[in-house]
Chains A and B, each alone.
Chain A
Amino acid sequence: MTASNPAPAEATESTAGNGRLPLMIVAWLWVGAPFAYGVYELGLKLKQLFTG
């Protein structure tokens, strides 16, 4: 990138991430799966508030 760039590069939502869908899925699963485990365990704990 140099000072000669004439105009800002605008991404569009449709072009952004083209061809990177598998990476996107893997990346979100990587963080989503342990998070879901944590939320599930929290759900079990929450149940105790109403049944304990």
Chain B
Amino acid sequence: MASMGVPDVLTRARTVAPPGWSRWLVPPAALSIHLAIGQAYAWSVFKPPLESSLGLSGTQSALPFQLAIVMLGLSAAFGGTLVERNGPRWAMCVSALCFASGFLISALGAATRQYWLIVLGYGLVGGIGLGIGYISPVSTLIKWFPDRPGLATGIAIMGFGGGALIASPWSTELLSSFGADSSGIGQTFLVMGLVYAVFMTVGVLLVRVPADDWRPPGWKPSAAAARPLVTTAQVSARNALRTPQFWCLWVVLCMNVTAGIGILEKAAPMITDFFADTSTPVTATAAAGFVGLLSLGNMLGRITWSSTSDLVGRKNIYRLYLGAGALLYLLIALVGDDSKPLFIIAAAVILSFYGGGFATVPAYLKDLFGTYEVGAIHGRLLTAWSTAGVLGPLIVNAIADHEKSAGRTGPDLYSTSFVIMMVLLVIGFVANELVRPVHPRHHDGPSAETKATVGPESEGAVR
């Protein structure tokens, strides 16, 4: 039966996989959403043409992206419980509708030169698609891959990084075909909206949830729970917010993302400024290559480190992200502009930790709180991302501007920022050390062991 307001075909009950369905069909379904919504990181391609055709300032042209990121955090936080209740197909469908509609509304806005429509379409409507889409496959993947949750979420969340790699050159080509005036931008938005609608629909049709009693071959929840911090108990999203573990992880994610986004957001001017006083300054072309290298580090970190966490444990991998990340920042600050290769390698590794932090956190949440409402808990945790998205660029830009106005050049523009990033990572490291198993008084919902032998009626009663 359909839940209230949800078409029957989209309900969780209609999405249960038939016997013999391969779990390896689920990552492509997740990727078709994440590769699409990852376009958000390529918004900068539209900034110059929007500014010149509509007479906007840099701040104004950034508005749709900023609103989209705010909406991402809000819709993930507030929509997480709905996503859990209605299932991944409903969530992916909502995401596809919002994300594609956002482009179509923006196309109308560009064609009629009504900028507010672009802000409303891409930022508000599209942003809801980002948030719901980001969390939509997470708990489903964890349920299909309870033996390798880090690998599964790593694949999907790597897709979010990969989305910009596709969208950036693709939208550049579309703009050069249609023209960079308002009409050409409108046509580009229109084509992108239609293509993303089709691309994401395949994910909507392909996604399946495992039957309640499905398990991977030879895997037993009790065996997984033998590892430290991994529980077979279940904690609801509401209760999770009352645990210190949730807030420790919030700090961990916020610090890790702040440290990475500070470099990512300012990568090209940073490397150019950093080596400006040396005998081999960095050209604009090479700086673009540096941005590409950071994207590669970010993307590879998501799959590599998250998969590694299945072997070494979530707490240990965050020790690496935060501890080694802090040391790398220290190294860059100490060496300064003496070694270009060292700067480039250290920055790429820091960005791999940044990506790894995003991809590993759903599995960390699953270890601590179980699979019961892990998608909703993940959604609430993403408010740490929104906070870091403001903090990281703010710190780096404000300090660089201040140092520049004081007449400083080269590494001096950034060394204070690097020390601050190091301190933030140490704070994150301490927060990670404070993570302990969740107290049984917060447990609710059926345990994983019990869930394997009871049906959805019993589960519904608990909910």
A contact residues vs B (CB 8 Å cutoff): 1-13, 15-20, 23-24, 27-28, 30-31, 34-35, 37-39, 41-42, 45-50, 52
Contact of A38 among B165, B454, B458 (CB under 8 A): B165
Q: Does B269 contact A (CB under 8 A)?
A: no
Chain A residues lying within 8 Å of B32, measured Cβ to Cβ, are 30-31
Q: A11-B216, A46-B292, A46-B296 are in contact. List 4 more A-B contacts (CB 8 A).
A: A1-B211, A5-B213, A16-B24, A52-B283
Asked if B455 and A3 make an inter-chain contact with CB atoms under 8 angstroms apart, the answer reads yes
The 9 closest A-B pairs by CB, nearest first: A49-B289, A17-B22, A52-B285, A38-B165, A45-B292, A52-B286, A48-B289, A38-B166, A27-B28
A3 touches B457 (CB 8 A): yes
Pair A49/B455 contact, Cβ less than 8 Å: no
* Chain B nearest Cβ from A34, distance in angstroms: 5
Contact partner, A16, options B22, B29, B211, B284, Cβ 8 Å:
B22
Q: Is the CB of B169 within 8 A of A10?
A: no
Which B residues lie within 8 Å of A20 (CB)? 20-22, 25
Provided the pairs A1-B456, A49-B290 are in contact, do residues A35 and B21 lie with their beta carbons within 8 angstroms?
Answer: no
Name A3's contact: one of B162, B283, B291, B454 (CB within 8 Å): B454
**B212: min CB distance to chain A, Å:** 5
Give the nearest-CB partner of A11 in chain B: B217
Q: Given the complex, which residues of A lie within 8 Å of B457, measured CB to CB? A: 2-3
Kindly provide the distance from the CB of A17 to the nearest chain B CB, expressed in whole angstroms. 3
**Separation of A5 and B212 alpha carbons in the complex (Å):** 10
Separation of A42 and B296 alpha carbons in the complex (Å): 8
Verify B286–A49 contact, CB threshold 8 A: yes
Contact of B215 among A10, A30, A46 (CB under 8 A): A10
Instruction: Check if B455 sits within 8 Å of A1, measured CB to CB.
Output: yes
Contact A46 B289, CB 8 Å, known A3-B457, A24-B24, A28-B28? yes
**What residues on B are CB-neighbors of A31 within 8 Å?**
28, 31-32, 35, 159
Contacts of A41 in B (CB 8 A): 165, 168-169
Partner pick for B453 among A8, A18, A24, A38, CB 8 A cutoff: A8
The answer to whether B289 touches A8 (Cβ under 8 A) is no
* A31–B168 CA distance with the chains assembled, in angstroms: 16
Measured between C-beta atoms, what is the minimum distance from B152 to chain A in Å?
15
Residues of A near B23 (CB, < 8 A) are 11, 16
In the assembled complex, which residues on chain B have CB atoms less than 8 Å from the CB atom of A47? 289
Query: Provided the pairs A9-B215, A35-B166 are in contact, do residues A50 and B455 lie with their beta carbons within 8 angstroms?
Result: no
Which residues in B have their C-beta under 8 angstroms from that of A15? Answer: 20
A6, A9, A27, A34: which contacts B29 (Cβ < 8 A)? A27
* 23 A-B residue pairs with CB within 8 Å: A1-B16, A6-B453, A7-B453, A9-B214, A10-B216, A11-B23, A12-B217, A13-B217, A24-B25, A27-B25, A27-B28, A27-B206, A31-B32, A35-B31, A35-B166, A37-B169, A37-B170, A41-B169, A46-B293, A47-B289, A48-B292, A52-B285, A52-B286
- A interface footprint on B114-148 (CB within 8 Å = 1, 0 otherwise): 00000000000000000000000000000000000
